[in-house]
Amino acid sequence: MARYRKKSAEILARRFETNNDDGSHIRSLVSWANSQQARTVASHDDTTVYVHGPTGDDRGRPAVYRADVGDWLVFTPEGDLRICKAPVFAEIYEQVGE
């Protein structure tokens, strides 16, 4: 796992690199995301990663966001798990260590 910096805040992040292996990458990614004890939870269906947000829609259902291969899973300084598209990630974060 590498560490990255956005302006003055450091975050934890991992990239969703492939869903075309034996499933070990996606399971490892979701396990890592859920081990951070955030208010958000990650899940997968063997090909896609989903992030279930802490807030819901107008019917009280939790918000669910889909990560595509190449996207980054990012923990905000507040501890929330978010999805960040690769071009946006490259523009605003720089690696500061492993």
Length of the chain: 98
Per-residue confidence (pLDDT) for residue 7, from 0 to 100? 63
Over the stretch 80-92, which tens digit does the pLDDT of each residue have? 899 999 999 998 8
pTM across the whole model? 0.79
Greater confidence, 22 or 39?
A: 22
Give the percent of the chain with pLDDT over 70.
91
Interior angle at CA 14, CA 50 and CA 84, nearest 5: 60
